[in-house]
């Protein structure tokens, strides 16, 4: 599995758990505000043997979980094998995804404890293309959300980063209505966009950080 980095101990990636974070390379989206754009480059990082990663996880006695993020982890062809072996360590295993690869999510579902899906916006082609920079297959994202929502053994978090220049309050309401129609079992997190160095200096003044009051109003209409 090709990784752009490993964080040995994190206290913020998993709720109420310390975790090791594995940063996979490659992504099929190209979101301008992504803080991890360096992971899109093919020459970043290196290949790890599955057993090498499993040994690292086993030996890390300070964490109770493993968070696989990126990049887009489901693009890693050996993610299935990794999850199967990582489950044997007894650690809580979480996978971040943009929802574009339901086939891989279905393969790894028996071996993972959590899915954190980064929903870029309401499931509309024009809006998602503006945010992701690519033509998104809406059917794939619908399929991923509906599958995980129906899979009882997996904790499910859907999160949306609110960037005022890209999303409106109406867009957030559309997301909430869609999740309500699904009888969404998990947690919906509305994240506040914050500029980070990985985004690129040219975007510093393009994307604005919303005020806390705006976020509260969106969640409490």
Q: What are phi and psi of 178, to 5 degrees?
A: -60, -45
Q: What are phi and psi of 144, to 5 degrees?
A: -65, -50
Q: Taking a C-beta distance cutoff of 8 angstroms, is the pair 25, 79 a contact?
A: no
Q: Is the pLDDT of residue 212 over 70?
A: no
Q: Taking a C-beta distance cutoff of 8 angstroms, is the pair 97, 117 a contact?
A: yes
Residue 219: the pLDDT is 57
Determine the number of helices (DSSP H) and then strands (DSSP E) in the chain.
Answer: 7, 8
Residue 169: the pLDDT is 84
Show the domains of the chain with their CATH numbers.
2-219 (3.20.20.70)
Edge-to-edge strand list for the sheet holding 92-97: 46-47, 2-14, 17-24, 65-69, 92-97, 114-118, 155-162, 187-192
Is pTM beyond 0.95? Reply is no
Residue 203: the pLDDT is 53
pLDDT confidence tier of residue 75, bands split at 50, 70 and 90: very high
pLDDT confidence tier of residue 198, bands split at 50, 70 and 90: very low
How confident is the prediction for the chain on average, in pLDDT?
Answer: 90
Spell out the residues 6+ positions from residue 174 whose beta carbon is closer than 8 angstroms to its own. 122, 124
Q: Taking a C-beta distance cutoff of 8 angstroms, is the pair 25, 4 a contact?
A: yes
H or E segment and range at residue 72: none
Q: Is the pLDDT of residue 65 over 90?
A: yes
- Distance in angstroms (rounded) separating the CA atoms of residues 145 and 123: 11
Q: How much of the chain is in helix, strand and coil states, percent to nearest 5?
A: 40, 25, 35
Give residue-wise pLDDT tens across range 123-166.
Answer: 999 999 999 999 999 999 999 999 999 999 999 999 998 887 78
């Amino acid at each position: 599995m090709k990784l752009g980095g490993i964080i040995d101990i994190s206290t913020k990636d998993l709720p109420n758990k310390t975790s090791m974070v594995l940063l996979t390379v490659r992504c099929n989206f190209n979101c301008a505000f992504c803080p991890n754009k360096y992971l899109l480059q093919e020459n970043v990082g290196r290949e790890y043997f599955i057993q090498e990663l499993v040994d690292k996880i086993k030996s890390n006695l300070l964490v109770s979980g493993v968070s696989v993020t990126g990049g887009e982890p489901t693009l890693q062809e050996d993610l299935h094998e990794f999850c199967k072996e990582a489950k044997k360590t007894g650690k809580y295993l979480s996978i971040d995804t943009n929802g574009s690869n339901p086939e891989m999510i279905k393969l790894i579902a028996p071996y993972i404890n959590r899915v954190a899906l980064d929903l870029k916006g309401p499931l509309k082609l024009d809006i998602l293309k503006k945010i992701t920079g690519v033509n998104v297959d809406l059917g794939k994202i619908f399929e991923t959300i509906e599958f995980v929502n129906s899979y009882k053994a997996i904790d499910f978090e859907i999160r949306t980063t609110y960037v005022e220049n890209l999303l409106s309050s109406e867009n957030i309401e559309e997301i909430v209505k869609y999740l309500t129609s699904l009888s969404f079992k998990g947690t919906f997190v509305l994240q506040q966009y914050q500029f980070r160095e990985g985004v690129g200096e040219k975007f510093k003044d393009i994307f604005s950080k919303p005020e806390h009051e705006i976020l509260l109003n969106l969640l409490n209409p």
